[in-house]
Structure 1
Amino acid sequence: MFSTKFRIFIPSSIIVRTMATVKRFYREATVLSSGNKFEIALDHRKLKTPKGKVFEVSSEPLAFAIAVEWESQKETINRSNMHLTSLCNTVLDNPHNNTKEDIVSSIIQFLETDTILFQSNDEEELYNLQVEKWDPLIQWFCDRFQLGITKTRSIEAPLVTTETKEIIRKHLMSYNFEAIHGFKFGVDTTKSVILTLAASERVIKVEDAVYLSRLEEEYQISHWGRVEWSHELSKYDLQARLAAAIIFIHLNSNSMTSEPKLDRIRKTEM
């Protein structure tokens, strides 16, 4: 079952239609199929993007996951927590006319500011924690892609060679246009190319990737205490966003046939 339960901040790279809260106006969400495309219908009305295009995807499991998002809305529709729908809107409308190369280039730029490559130079206890938790992922990244990268303990950016950038560029370019949007959303969420790649390849769980992206904050919380409603909400917000990013990558990269089971969601031939 694909669903989210928290109101999430959406980066500017994701389209969200600006509008007042809307009451739920439909009884059920339905997946329509036509050839190799799948659409979403709210009762008998086809879902459309903010620019008025017919909302359609090539992945059947993704279509069902999006239908679950719409089914999960209660009395009002909270578009800000419908990450899969928002990602698809961005892909379909492409408001900035980005090419796959444009998006990959923007992801590559994150390498020099990757969260886990910047480690503490003034708190030895925090630094030791970062070495323990982050360094194994840095090593995995280097081994996985056969490259070298140097972390930093200063305000200066870590050393990321042109060769390293090109290796990661080629890897990302092997994915399709839709999946690349998932990577961008994941990197925006974690502020880390390394953590997003590790999560996408199932090296670490989404929850672990979020914890590692928040390691310094978690360290401070362990010393100064936690404001339950604030810190917990922030953590679950990030988990929901990253989970959506990883789902979007996988469902746009693989040919899958399994369908989420939800009685009121059905597939209808067009």
Structure 2
Amino acid sequence: MSRIFHKLLNTTYHFRSNKFMPISIIVRNMATVKRFYRKTNILLSGDKFEIVLDQRKLKTPKGRIFEVNSKPLALAVAAEWDAQKEIIDRGSMHLTSLCNTVLDNPNNYTKIDLVNHIVNCLEMDTILFYSSEVDELYQLQVEKWEPIVCWFCKHYNVDIARTQSIEAPTVSMETKAALTRHLLSHNFSSIYGLVYAVDGLKSVILTLATTARVINISEAVNLSRLEEEYQISHWGNVEWHHEYSKHDLQARLSAAMLFVYLNSHSATSRPKNDTPDVS
């Protein structure tokens, strides 16, 4: 995996610092912000949609006007802000964070940078690493993972090895080229949504299977956590931590998939002076 993207793993975009930071640090250092607005709207401006908090236009961490091309996406972001209670929980506002990162692009990544990152992540894909020690777990992985890996190979007309060792499986140049061609067909915003999903699931294959609706959000999360769930079923767990981690991943993946979809599809009419109230 390239060094330039190593920091994307277990990181997210920090509103206040305009940079990627480890999630654990952000959670510790995130300042408490009280809700400062009563009403949330969207506003049509030219061919884009902006978010309005009372009479203030929402801005990105770098001070740019927050604007998106998709009306449904603008409504979804506005709903995130409208759902905040007395204290604004920025960590739960995944769509807002994704939009901010695309708009500000704090590290000046190009489309091919993001595509190369996803392609390189394939070598460390969670569902290519099978257990070599526990036969029961290995059989479970074969049962649950193998159909998705086979779908991936057939859909993209590639061949990819699985492994039972700690060494990463070899991914051929042909496979990387095929995957690169597919990813480049997406726009920049959609690709960043895919990066966000890959980061959460630690799996390119599960991300693309979810995007293609071969599996749903819950199935993708369960498959990515298969070994952890197996260990928990045998040794128990810290219940609150397990449930929080699982639900947080589901929320992140749901936001990523919605972000990809709404940046890839446009079926919105845009009448003049269309300023719906979503409060």
Instruction: Give the structure-2-normalised TM-score.
Output: 0.88
After TM superposition, the structure 1 stretch with the greater mean CA deviation from structure 2, 46-55 or 14-23, is 14-23
Q: Of 134, 154, 159, which residue of structure 2 is paired with 1:148?
A: 159
Does 1 or 2 have the higher relative contact order (CA < 8 Å, sep 6+)? Answer: 1
Q: Are 2:158 and 1:159 aligned? A: no
Secondary structure of the residue aligned to 1:33 is: strand
One-letter amino acid of the counterpart of residue 16, structure 1: F
Q: Of 183, 186, 195, which residue of structure 2 is paired with 1:172?
A: 183
Indicate the residue corresponding to 1:5 in structure 2: none
* Contact 1:61 1:256 (C-alpha < 8 Å) held by counterparts: no
Aligned partners of 1:14 and 1:62: how far apart in 2? Answer: 19
Indicate the residue corresponding to 1:36 in structure 2: 47
* Contact 1:15 1:90 (C-alpha < 8 Å) held by counterparts: no
Indicate the residue corresponding to 1:216 in structure 2: 227
Indicate the residue corresponding to 1:265 in structure 2: 278
**Identical pairs, percent:** 60
Q: How do residues 71-86 of structure 1 correspond to structure 2 at under 5 angstroms?
A: 71-86=82-97
Q: CA RMSD in A?
A: 1.7
Q: Are 2:116 and 1:105 aligned? A: yes
Q: Are 2:230 and 1:231 aligned? A: no
Q: Are 2:216 and 1:205 aligned? A: yes
Aligned partners of 2:142 and 2:148: how far apart in 1? Answer: 10
Indicate the residue corresponding to 2:265 in structure 1: 254
> How much does 1:20 deviate?
1.1
* Contact 2:42 2:277 (C-alpha < 8 Å) held by counterparts: no
Secondary structure of the residue aligned to 2:182 is: helix
> How much does 1:256 deviate?
3.2
Structure 2 residues not aligned, in runs of 5+: 1-8, 18-29, 270-275
Q: Of 31, 36, 48, which residue of structure 1 is paired with 2:59?
A: 48
Q: Are 2:264 and 1:245 aligned? A: no
> How much does 1:17 deviate?
2.5
> How much does 1:180 deviate?
0.6
Aligned partners of 1:25 and 1:79: how far apart in 2? Answer: 14
One-letter amino acid of the counterpart of residue 232, structure 2: I
4+ runs deviating over 6 angstroms: none
Instruction: Give the structure-1-normalised TM-score.
Output: 0.91
Structure 1 residues not aligned, in runs of 5+: 1-9
Q: Of 69, 73, 78, which residue of structure 2 is paired with 1:67?
A: 78
Secondary structure of the residue aligned to 1:32 is: strand
Q: Are 2:101 and 1:90 aligned? A: yes
> How much does 1:226 deviate?
3.3
